[in-house]
């Protein structure tokens, strides 16, 4: 079950009650770069970027905690594209 907290860039920030509330979290934890790229192409990827697990960590923070540099770079690049897109709308 997810508890939505607030709204950012039209995306709800949610906290999950699981260690891996999204597949992004799973891929980030174990360093599955190819899986991460596929997941980021799926509907809902933007929302999943902001979901936090039961420790309050996003997928990016989970990758940072476990030292998965390729995942960190992948998520930062995707996040930069998302922020640029929403900024250009204003």
Q: Which two tokens stand for residue 41?
A: 């192409």
Residue 77 confidence (pLDDT): 95
Record: fold of 19-88: 1.25.40
Residue 1 confidence (pLDDT): 44
- Return d(Cα 24, Cα 40) in angstroms, integer: 8
Q: Which two tokens stand for residue 83?
A: 């922020």
Q: Are 24 and 37 in contact (CB under 8 A)?
A: no
Q: Where in the chain are the domains?
A: 19-88
Segment 7-66, tens digit of pLDDT: 344 444 556 677 888 999 999 999 999 999 999 999 999 989 999 999 999 999 999 999
**Cα 21–chain centre separation:** 10
Q: How far apart are the first and last CA of the chain?
A: 33
Q: Which two tokens stand for residue 26?
A: 């799973």
Average pLDDT over residues 72-77: 96
């Amino acid at each position: 079950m997810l508890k939505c907290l607030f709204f950012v860039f039209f995306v709800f920030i949610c906290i999950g009650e699981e260690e891996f509330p999204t597949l992004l979290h799973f891929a980030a934890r174990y360093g599955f770069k190819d899986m991460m790229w596929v997941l980021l192409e799926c509907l809902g990827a933007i929302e999943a970027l902001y979901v936090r697990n039961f420790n309050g960590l996003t997928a990016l923070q989970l990758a940072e905690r476990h030292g998965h540099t390729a995942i960190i770079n992948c998520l930062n690049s995707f996040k930069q594209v998302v922020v640029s897109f929403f900024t250009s709308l204003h």
